[in-house]
Amino acid sequence: MIIHEVMNRGLSLKVQSEPIPLFHKQQPHTLVPIDHLNQIVLLSYSNLSRQAINLALFHGIPLTFLTHQRDYLECWEAQPKSPAKYLAQQKKRSQDLEFIRTTAESIIRAKLHNCCTLILKFSSSQKTVNAMALLMDDLPLTESFNVLRSYEAVAAEFYFSALAQLLPSNFHFVKRSQHPGFDPINNLLNLGYALLSQEIYEILHSSGLDIHFGNLHLSVHNLAPLVSDFMAEFRAPIVEELVVHLAISQIITPEEFTPADDQDGIYLYPNALKKFIEHWDKKLQTKVIHPYSGKVTYLHCLELQVQEYLSCLLGEQKYYRPFVLVE
């Protein structure tokens, strides 16, 4: 993925030949082989020529723009020419209530476990962890799918309240708010979720899955249901852990955000946004113990979990095994 180079101020992407040349202030900067690109991320539309857009879409390379609309993220990509490879199996499974229920329960359990692990990493307090543990114990006892899904929302209240206690007071984080973020922490969370959703989308798409057939989620703030399902397992270990680390370490400070706007919230200044993206890339390349595959990067974890889901979808294994942090 090419991120840092394209995001540098004054850098533009043009097409004269292959490999694609990057220009800095109209002067040649570097060459990027087309087969090394799987995504192009830009700060604005002005950095990309029409020829570059057409070439990227022709090769199936999505273009991601970090803007102030839709919580930073807007993505352009070529429309698939044929249905997803596993669409028939997904449609069949969408009518299998036991498959949906057990998969959704696995996802929620993994999400709550990963949230507890994150809290304990930064705090010795057991109060929130104990409350969420009780919710996990009760998951198999829920009498309906809607009640099962409600446990995710209940856990979120406990969880974000605990996160607020971990963060420096100058960030003024009180609770989770989504559209838009009016405080630095919510803004960083929105940005991280947007980038995570795009990573997951690309993996699902390249794996032959239709993103509109989820199990736990139906529709979440413009995100496709299957993307939302996979995000549930990885929000805490990837996005939320990164944001807490950046705040506690004062790597990003409240002074690096624009003044609050009653309608549009606040946003990172360009240099701080670039800093966040650099740490985001490092986070994806951080190695962690995958419960079934050993020590791999977080990015590879995402790919492994999609394969886990495919194995379950196709009946190769009975239950979906989610990603859980090893304590």
Lookup: tokens for 18: 């292959």
Query: Strands, E, within the chain: which ranges?
Result: 11-13, 20-24, 27-32, 40-42, 63-66, 73-76, 287-290, 294-297
Residues of the chain where predicted confidence (pLDDT) is lower than 70: 1-50, 52-53, 56-60, 62-63, 65-82, 179-180, 219-223, 262-264
Q: Which domains does the chain have, with CATH numbers?
A: 4-66 (no CATH), 87-313 (1.20.120.920)
What pLDDT, on the 0 to 100 scale, is given for residue 78? 56
Neighbours of 327 (CB within 10 A): 9
Q: Given the DSSP bridges, would you call strands 40-42 and 27-32 parallel, antiparallel or unpaired?
A: unpaired
* Residues contacting residue 196 through CB under 8 Å, at least 6 positions apart: 231, 234, 235, 238, 239
Lookup: tokens for 257: 């955000």
pLDDT, tens digit, 9 for 90 and up, residues 189-202 = 988 998 999 899 88
What pLDDT, on the 0 to 100 scale, is given for residue 130? 94
Q: What is the DSSP string of 30-59?
A: EEE-GGG-S-EEESSGGGB-HHHHHHHHHT
What pLDDT, on the 0 to 100 scale, is given for residue 26? 57
Residue 231's nearest CA partner among 214, 209, 244 is 214
Answering whether pTM is above 0.75, one says yes
What pLDDT, on the 0 to 100 scale, is given for residue 326? 86
Strand partners, 21: 31
DSSP assigned state of 239: I
What pLDDT, on the 0 to 100 scale, is given for residue 188? 94
**Can you tell me the distance from the alpha carbon of 87 to that of 212, in angstroms, rounded to the nearest whole number?**
10
Lookup: tokens for 26: 């109209």
What pLDDT, on the 0 to 100 scale, is given for residue 5? 44
For residue 251, the one-letter residue type is I
CB 209 within 8 A of CB 306: yes
**Can you tell me the distance from the alpha carbon of 304 to that of 285, in angstroms, rounded to the nearest whole number?**
14
